Amino acid sequence: MRLADFISRDMEPILVQWEAFATTLLPAAADMESLGLRDHAQQILHAVAKDLQTSQTREAQREKSLGRGPCLIDATETASQTHALLRARAGFNIKQLAAEYRALRASVLRLWMDDCQPETPDLDDVIRFNEAIDQALAESVAVFSAQVEQSRNLLLGMLGHDMRSPLQAIQMTASYLEALNAGARVSEAAARLIRSGARIQTLLDDLTDFNRTKLGLGINVTPTSVNLANVLADELDELRAVHPDRQIELRVSGNLQGLWDGPRLQQLLGNLVLNAIKYGAPDTPVLVTVTGGVTHVRIDVSNSGPSIERATLTRIFDPLMRGPDQQSRYDCTGSLGLGLFIASEIAKAHHGAIEARSDETETSFSVSLPREDGAITTR
């Protein structure tokens, strides 16, 4: 008997074995009933049987074995994709999802080969069946991973939002204690709380911005008429106060008036300068150059020090990417490794661009921002 006919005829015994294996996938399966355990298994098997009966070229078979089979016409999703979505929501992990397909593959082939005795099973059916299972598994894994990532991003978003209120209470209480003049020890303790609260606030802001980008919302910008010379000078004054042992120079030229989100560009510059402080040579200045052109404004942040390897440079704006010197003396402030990624997203939100260059003498980050009044889209 051909395998497609066997699957259609013996659907129930195959589903019994699927369900029996699914019950072992704990803890997710502990309280699931038969219908949930068999979820979409019958539809997946019907799709596999139909695939076996469909004429295919060798190239089409190869693509399917690699998980790149053609999409179904007039179908929003396949049974394997729906199965993955429901398994993710039920609390299964990706290893358990893959294990279901391994068990299905083994049980179907074993039952069919036993049924074929004493005849020899059709080898082409075996190959085609494995290709169809590979395609179904690839579809399931892709949807499962996307669902897990979306759930994680929503959780991070809620976490960042819910932590702001208690953090604000801590910061306000610390500021109140500092203003009491209740002695040096109380003032010092309050100052530590304020500094620690500011670091946590920065981490939360980075987490929120990162989460917005992962959810497809992008960095939120509110453009107003600003003079970048004043806006960026204020940011550098704060950075000099935090790092009094480092020299930070600012050079400006040209027209720097335009429509931009001032606080966001301060955040962008702050991230770039802090990166230069962290990884640049401590005995050389960090140079910030802002140049106003006819159509664009350019911000360059340069520092001396070890060059960045080419492999690292190509991924420097990836999220959670860190430089090679993770034990920098300034790293004690804490970091999620999102600074350059967020700087890049802020530039994109202004319809601008950012690039990095590095050699033995200098590392430089350059930001180009368009002047056009309609260049920024608020979100």
pLDDT at 322: 59
pTM of the model: 0.57
- Which range among 139-148, 155-164, 239-248 shows the weakest confidence by mean pLDDT? 155-164
Q: Domain spans of the chain?
A: 1-217, 224-370
Query: Could you report the per-residue pLDDT of 341-357, keeping only the tens digit for each?
Result: 889 999 999 999 999 99
Q: Which is more confident, 66 or 35?
A: 35
Q: Please report, rounded to a whole number, the percentage of residues in the chain having pLDDT higher than 90.
A: 43
| 43-48 long-range Cβ contacts below 8 angstroms, 24+ apart | 43/79, 44/79, 44/80, 44/83, 44/104, 44/136, 45/7, 45/11, 45/14, 45/15, 45/104, 45/108, 46/8, 46/79, 47/78, 47/79, 47/80, 47/132, 47/136, 48/7, 48/129, 48/132, 48/133, 48/136
320 falls in which pLDDT band (50, 70, 90)? low
pLDDT at 157: 66
206 falls in which pLDDT band (50, 70, 90)? confident
Read off the pLDDT of each residue in 197-215 and give the average, rounded to a whole number.
75
pLDDT at 377 over 60: no
Query: Could you report the per-residue pLDDT of 37-47, keeping only the tens digit for each?
Result: 988 999 999 99
Read off the pLDDT of each residue in 147-168 and give the average, rounded to a whole number.
73
Query: Could you report the per-residue pLDDT of 273-305, keeping only the tens digit for each?
Result: 999 998 889 889 999 999 999 999 999 999 998
Q: Which is more confident, 55 or 152?
A: 55
198 falls in which pLDDT band (50, 70, 90)? confident
pLDDT at 71: 57
SS (H, E, C) the chain: CCHHHHHHHCHHHHHHHHHHHHCCCCCCCCCCCHHHHCCCHHHHHHHHHHHHCCCCCHHHHHHHHCCCCCCCCCCCCCHHHHHHHHHHHHCCCHHHHHHHHHHHHHHHHHHHHHHHCCCCCCHHHHHHHHHHHHHHHHHHHHHHHHHHHHHHHHHHHHHHHHHHHHHHHHHHHHHHHHHCCCCHHHHHHHHHHHHHHHHHHHHHHHHHHHHHHHCCCCCCCCCEEEEHHHHHHHHHHHHHHHCCCCCEEEEEEECCEEEECHHHHHHHHHHHHHHHHHHCCCCCCEEEEEEECCCEEEEEEEECCCCCCHHHHCCCCCCCCCCCCCCCCCHHHCCCCCHHHHHHHHHHHCCCEEEEEECCCCEEEEEEEECCCCCCCCC
pLDDT at 218: 75
Q: Which is more confident, 126 or 217?
A: 126
pLDDT at 171: 81
170 falls in which pLDDT band (50, 70, 90)? confident
How many other CB atoms are found less than 10 A from the CB of residue 35?
Answer: 8
Look over the chain and give the mean of its residue pLDDT values, rounded to a whole number: 84
pLDDT at 75 over 50: no
pLDDT at 378: 44
Read off the pLDDT of each residue in 182-189 and give the average, rounded to a whole number.
84
Top-level class of domain 224-370: alpha beta
